[in-house]
Amino acid sequence: MQVKWWRSGFFYLLLLAVIVVLVLVSIPRESPRPVALADFVNEAKTQQINTIGYWQEGQKLIGLADAEVICWTQYTETPEELSKLLNEEGVNVNAGKKLESNFDGSALDADGKLDDEHKVIQAEFMDLAKQGQIDTILQDGENLEGLKDSKITITSAFVGGTDDLRNYLEAAGVILGAEGIKVDVKPSGFDWGTIALTVILPIVLLGALFYFLFFRAARGAGTQAFNFSKSRARLTLDKRPDVTFADVAGTDEAKEEVQEVVEFLKSPQKFQSLGGRIPRGVLLVGPPGTGKTLLAKAIAGEARVPFYSISGSEFVEMFVGVGAARVRDLFDQAKRNAPCLIFIDEIDAVGRHRGAGLGGGHDEREQTLNQILAEMDGFDTSVNIIVIAATNRPDILDPALLRPGRFDRHIVIDLPDIKGRKAILEVHAKGKPLAKGVNLETVAKETPGFSGADLANLINEAAILAARRNRQDITLKELEDAADRTIAGPEKKSRIISTKEKEIIAYHESGHALTARMLPNADPVHKISIVARGVLGGWTRFLPSEDRHLWTKSQFDDRLAVSLGGRVAEEITFGEITTGAQNDLEQATKLARKMVTEYGMSEKLGPRTFGQRQELVFLGREISEQKDYSDKIAQEIDEEVHNIIQRAYDTAKKVLTKNKGKLKLLAEELVARETLDEPELDKIFEGLAPQPTPS
């Protein structure tokens, strides 16, 4: 929106500058002061004045400094005598002072006054006053008017105040008072032009400035106060769908679930004729990045109805009652545009369990939630408004919000499998120049656990890498490098490490790879690298042959052995261990403890779980654990965790000790080439076949 010129900051700045200039101009300046002749000469000697003007008619010497009159004195002699006086007093007129003998200091004419012929010098004016030819002297600024019978007969010039005039007349022998001449002062009157310029205009400009800066702002704030309870939802009325179900991949079952919502919005009579009622609310649940918001946009695009979108946090304000008012306003707007969709993203910000749970009670949030509950399933249930909400924290939502009649349908959008990842990659690869021979299914196999957002970022990173390498298309190399970058971060080829440390890292990663190669239940090795990425000094990527939803105990045992293979390789090669295995040990300990306490895989403790845990659903983070076992059992759990890890360590040690030659060959090749892909690894591992896990 274009800002009007009189509301711009430049206008206020210019207005302020004008006010400052006017104030400076209106500051009264010091008027010239009358001095004695001796003082006048002293000021000329001390360079306080640099120009002397001689006003012959007014019989005055005018002292100027930088063209400004600063003082004056009476002087009745000729200019020649003045020059002589100044030379006698030691004032060098030619060097320092400029004597203006033709200085024009005569009073100006005014309308209705005498012309120049009736103007006289002060000496003549005094003589006429002493002779009785005038009976009144009227001082009008710097002019003296001589009156006879109330008529002006003569004028002259005089610079000074009324007291100066009286003293001057008495010194000249003019009798004043009742027996002599009457002295009056003519009122100066009002100079309305000067008053308007120096007083009224600055006040007006200041008032205008205060009005625009404060009063309009206050009025705007008052208007905002009335809009404070208005809904902040964004309304989309465009009939052309920007996002459709064709843009959503990897969630086929979820699309089927919400397809009925689209059909109801397009033709509600089809369901109403059979007595069917469309769900009032659809709750999309899943990890971050799985496409919940994208699916909601696709529903609106397919149905081609008004679409309101808002975040749950936008309902909550500091003032109690504002959130509930915004909910009412949102549903009022939706009713006027029914049938329509309302999408509330991150509804857990406002839909938390009331009265208890995480965060405790919160009056504003609870009132907002109460209003949402009333609007979704209150007395008025005839309107065709469907509420779609998204969250990755369904465990903390209020039960009243989740019940049928409000959110009737809960749709879980999980991480995509291989088929879903391939479909997502195909969607995001549209319009991008992929090289011939690029198989997106291979990329899908290499990216287990990636969400839709991760895969979209992978395609974008691959395009950026191709542009950085000055390529015209995107090859499989860019896609794999982008996957590595997404998992572990960018390469740090500039990091300088010693030859010894590089060798240790190579043996460490070779230990992981060789252990995985020799164990039957471990995942195949896809790539090894000793080029640092992110916080990793080196890394080994495994490529599962399929997506797993169930894990066996033997798979966990081999996985633990692979995790500890790097530390074992360091020990049997160099005779000591380093800190490089810190993350491996951490992951191994967590997995072993889960095997004992969650999966019941301990032969000694039996098939049971230990501890009641509260976790962030779909986020994989544990909040707390309630201990439901004795200290003795806790000690046995620790012993079982230790035994499981120790057995895995012994397994890795047996495998690597038996194949120490291959370990050395792999490490030397890795030091020379820094990165080894699957075909190169197959050549090195030629002749090696997985062996049964040593007992």
The pTM (predicted TM-score) of the whole model is 0.62
Residue of 632, 585, 588 lying closest to 610 (CA atoms): 632
Residue of 494, 417, 489, 423 lying closest to 456 (CA atoms): 423
Evaluate whether residue 205 is within a structural domain. Answer: no
Q: Specify the range with the lowest mean pLDDT, choosing from 49-53, 475-479, 549-553, 691-695.
A: 691-695
Residue reference for tokens 């692979």: 562
Average pLDDT over residues 579-589: 92
> Do 319 and 363 meet the contact criterion of CB atoms below 8 Å apart?
no
Same domain, 555 and 628: yes
Decide: residue 264, CB within 10 A, 0-12 exposed, 13-18 middle, 19+ buried: buried
Q: Specify the range with the lowest mean pLDDT, choosing from 65-79, 260-274, 322-336.
A: 65-79
Q: Where are the alpha helices (DSSP H) in 304-362?
A: 322-336
Number of C-beta neighbours around residue 106 at 10 A: 15
Same domain, 143 and 240: no
Token pair listed for 331:
């549903």
Q: Specify the range with the lowest mean pLDDT, choosing from 19-23, 94-98, 103-107, 568-572.
A: 103-107
How far apart, in whole angstroms, are the C-alpha atoms of residue 132 and residue 316? 95
What is the number of structural domains in the chain?
A: 5
The upper half-sphere exposure of residue 78, i.e. CA atoms within 13 Å in the direction of its Cβ, equals 3
User: pLDDT of 500-546, one tens digit each?
Assistant: 999 999 999 999 999 999 999 998 898 898 888 877 888 888 888 77
Tell me 523's DSSP state. Answer: P
Residue of 332, 390, 398 lying closest to 367 (CA atoms): 398
409-412: strand order across its sheet: 234-236, 307-311, 340-345, 385-391, 281-285, 409-412
Decide: residue 394, CB within 10 A, 0-12 exposed, 13-18 middle, 19+ buried: buried
Continuous segment of H or E residues that includes residue 418: helix 418-428
pLDDT: which is higher, 484 or 157: 484
Listed as own residue / partner, the contacts of 181-184 with beta carbons closer than 8 Å and 24 or more positions apart are 181/129, 181/134, 181/135, 181/136, 181/137, 182/135, 182/136, 182/137, 183/136, 183/137, 183/139, 184/136, 184/137, 184/138, 184/139
Q: What is the pLDDT of residue 595?
A: 93
Q: Is 352 helix (H, G, I), strand (E, B) or coil?
A: strand
Residues in the chain: 695
Tell me 537's DSSP state. Answer: S
Same domain, 360 and 462: no
Evaluate whether residue 209 is within a structural domain. Answer: no
User: pLDDT of 355-378, one tens digit each?
Assistant: 654 444 557 778 888 888 888 876
Please report which confidence band the pLDDT of residue 102 belongs to, taking 50, 70 and 90 as the band edges.
very low
Using a pLDDT cut of 90, give the percent of the chain over it.
Answer: 19
Please report which confidence band the pLDDT of residue 120 belongs to, taking 50, 70 and 90 as the band edges.
low
Residues involved in catalysis:
509
Instruction: Indicate if the pLDDT at residue 408 is higher than 70.
Output: yes
Decide: residue 426, CB within 10 A, 0-12 exposed, 13-18 middle, 19+ buried: middle
Range of the domain at 424: 418-488
Evaluate whether residue 108 is within a structural domain. Answer: no
Token pair listed for 73:
């004195």
How far apart, in whole angstroms, are the C-alpha atoms of residue 506 and residue 673? 10
Same domain, 397 and 428: no
Instruction: Indicate if the pLDDT at residue 189 is higher than 60.
Output: no
Average pLDDT over residues 169-191: 72
Instruction: Select from 144, 164, 185 the last residue of a domain.
Output: 185
Same domain, 247 and 376: yes
Q: Specify the range with the lowest mean pLDDT, choosing from 178-182, 271-275, 339-343.
A: 178-182
Q: What is the pLDDT of residue 43?
A: 80
Average pLDDT over residues 623-635: 80
User: pLDDT of 201-260, one tens digit each?
Assistant: 777 777 777 766 666 555 554 444 445 456 656 666 655 557 888 888 888 888 888 888
Residue of 592, 621, 596 lying closest to 611 (CA atoms): 596
Same domain, 428 and 391: no
Q: Is 391 helix (H, G, I), strand (E, B) or coil?
A: strand
Same domain, 332 and 453: no
Q: How far is CA 309 from the centre of its chain?
A: 22
Q: Specify the range with the lowest mean pLDDT, choosing from 86-90, 448-452, 457-461, 462-466.
A: 86-90
> Do 333 and 235 meet the contact criterion of CB atoms below 8 Å apart?
yes
Instruction: Indicate if the pLDDT at residue 106 is higher than 70.
Output: no
CATH number for the domain that contains residue 152: 3.30.720.210
Instruction: Indicate if the pLDDT at residue 117 is higher than 50.
Output: no
How far apart, in whole angstroms, are the C-alpha atoms of residue 496 and residue 643? 39
Instruction: Indicate if the pLDDT at residue 5 is higher than 60.
Output: no
Same domain, 630 and 534: yes
> Do 427 and 446 meet the contact criterion of CB atoms below 8 Å apart?
no
Instruction: Select from 387, 412, 437 the last residue of a domain.
Output: 412
Evaluate whether residue 220 is within a structural domain. Answer: no
Instruction: Indicate if the pLDDT at residue 304 is higher than 50.
Output: yes
User: pLDDT of 12-37, one tens digit each?
Assistant: 667 677 777 666 655 555 567 777 77
Token pair listed for 81:
């005598």
Same domain, 623 and 585: yes
Q: What is the pLDDT of residue 23?
A: 64
CATH number for the domain that contains residue 389: 3.40.50.300
pLDDT: which is higher, 669 or 259: 669
Instruction: Indicate if the pLDDT at residue 661 is higher than 60.
Output: yes
Instruction: Indicate if the pLDDT at residue 650 is higher than 60.
Output: yes
Average pLDDT over residues 120-138: 75
Evaluate whether residue 208 is within a structural domain. Answer: no
Q: What phi and psi, each to the nearest 5 degrees, are found at residue 148?
A: -130, 115
Please report which confidence band the pLDDT of residue 8 belongs to, taking 50, 70 and 90 as the band edges.
low
* Three-class DSSP labels, 171-232: HCCCCECCCCEEEEECCCCCCHHHHHHHHHHHHHHHHHHHHHHHHHHHHHHHHHHHHCCCCC
Q: Is 386 helix (H, G, I), strand (E, B) or coil?
A: strand
Tell me 545's DSSP state. Answer: S
Q: What is the pLDDT of residue 645?
A: 95
Q: Specify the range with the lowest mean pLDDT, choosing from 246-260, 378-392, 616-630, 638-652.
A: 616-630
Please report which confidence band the pLDDT of residue 617 belongs to, taking 50, 70 and 90 as the band edges.
low
Using a pLDDT cut of 70, give the percent of the chain over it.
Answer: 78
Same domain, 448 and 545: no
Average pLDDT over residues 672-694: 80
How far apart, in whole angstroms, are the C-alpha atoms of residue 234 and residue 230? 12
Cα distances (angstroms) measured from residue 689 to each of 100, 135, 521, 524, 540: 120, 140, 12, 12, 19
Tell me how far apart the terminal alpha carbons of the chain are, to the nearest angstrom: 76
Evaluate whether residue 46 is within a structural domain. Answer: yes
Evaluate whether residue 17 is within a structural domain. Answer: no
Evaluate whether residue 223 is within a structural domain. Answer: no
Token pair listed for 62:
């005018």
Cα distances (angstroms) measured from residue 440 to each of 444, 465, 475: 6, 17, 11
Q: What is the pLDDT of residue 60?
A: 74
Instruction: Indicate if the pLDDT at residue 656 is higher than 80.
Output: yes
Q: What phi and psi, each to the nearest 5 degrees, are found at residue 344?
A: -110, 110
How far apart, in whole angstroms, are the C-alpha atoms of residue 349 and residue 124? 99
Same domain, 173 and 122: yes
Q: What is the pLDDT of residue 403?
A: 87
Residue of 394, 307, 393, 382 lying closest to 343 (CA atoms): 307
Q: What is the DSSP string of 405-416?
A: TTS-EEEE----
Tell me 622's DSSP state. Answer: E
Q: Is 152 helix (H, G, I), strand (E, B) or coil?
A: strand
Average pLDDT over residues 83-111: 54
pLDDT: which is higher, 277 or 436: 436
pLDDT: which is higher, 447 or 56: 447
Same domain, 255 and 176: no
Q: What is the pLDDT of residue 324?
A: 82
> Do 284 and 292 meet the contact criterion of CB atoms below 8 Å apart?
yes
User: How does the average pLDDT of the chain come out, rounded?
Assistant: 78
Q: Specify the range with the lowest mean pLDDT, choosing from 80-84, 389-393, 657-661.
A: 80-84
CB-based contacts of 674, cutoff 8 Å, min separation 6? 529, 530, 531
Instruction: Indicate if the pLDDT at residue 103 is higher than 60.
Output: no
Cα distances (angstroms) measured from residue 285 to each of 308, 350, 583: 19, 16, 31
> Do 370 and 263 meet the contact criterion of CB atoms below 8 Å apart?
no
Average pLDDT over residues 612-634: 70
Instruction: Indicate if the pLDDT at residue 276 is higher than 60.
Output: yes
